[in-house]
Amino acid sequence: MSGTTNLRVTIWNEFRHERNNPEVTKVYPDGIHAALKNGLMPFGFDIGTATLDEPQHGLTEAVLNETDVLVWWGHQAHDEVDDGIVQRVQERVLQGMGLIVLHSGHYSKIFKKLLGTSCALKWREADEKERLWVVKPAHPIVAGIPEYIELEKEEMYGEFFDIPDPDELVLVSWFEGGEVFRSGVTFSRGQGKIFYFRPGHETYPTYYREPILRIIANAVKWAGSERGANPFYGNAKPLEVIAATKK
């Protein structure tokens, strides 16, 4: 694990909508992963990308072993992600790799596997105003963010969101239609830190917005921060025996 500077980040994206939906192509001509990479580069990360249709979905053991934080965007092809790759990602998260799950990635195999629930929610595709309210202003993920961010058009996600109670609730959304949603939540699994962040429907230019990119960058730094000592598992010697062998 490197420090909070020069973190090694891999951005994973299905890269399907951008190739088969002209409306999405207009917004993200090179893919959501490319837009995120360009937007996050000024924060000093070492960034690579991976997509669904690459061999092993671009998530080889070598790639994951060199990744401090994995950013995940998926939507229409969750079921096409190989279970063996999901297991590989889970193992890396438990070992300490950070995971940032964006928008419809809530229904990805990896997010559901790590959280152990359906991760289902209600949704509505409509041009609705969204206000993202900061409800934990001291948290590093929202450093430099005003008390709320207003997005003129976004897809609605509404409660109930079937996730375990999060470690921390950082952001809550209000939508023009009246719904609210837990839009920024943290979890820990093993040695890994996880952040789910709701905004980012593929037909809206959300990932060009500076406050949204800043939150993702802050989350990368938080998820990639240094850990304490690795836990020991198995048959343990008494501490006095260990101390005696060191004399």
pTM value is: 0.93
Strands 168-175 and 148-158: unpaired
Number of domain units in the chain: 1
31 domain residue, yes or no: yes
Tell whether 154 is covered by a domain.
no
* Domain assignment present for 125: no
Amino acid identity at 156: M
In a domain? residue 101: yes
185, 161 in Cβ contact below 8 A?
Answer: no
3-state SS of 173-199 is EEECCCCEEEEEEEEEECCEEEEEECC
Phi then psi for residue 193, to 5 deg, are -105, 140
Domain interval for residue 39: 8-119+181-229
d(CA 161, CA 128): 19
| pLDDT value, residue 231 | 85
Residue/partner pairs of 62-66 with CB below 8 Å, 24 or more apart = 63/10, 64/10, 64/88, 64/89, 64/92, 64/97, 65/92, 66/8
Question: 167 lies in a domain?
Answer: no
* pLDDT for res 80: 96
Q: What is the CATH number of the domain that holds 62?
A: 3.40.50.880
Decide if 106 is inside a domain.
yes
Q: How much is the pLDDT for 203?
A: 96
The whole-number pLDDT of residue 4 equals: 43
In a domain, 14, yes or no: yes
Give the torsion sign (CA, 195, 199, 203, 208).
negative
Is residue 79 in a domain? yes
pLDDT of residue 2: 41
**Low-confidence residues of the chain: pLDDT under 70:** 1-5, 241-247
Q: Is the dihedral of CA 71, 76, 79, 81 positive or negative?
A: negative
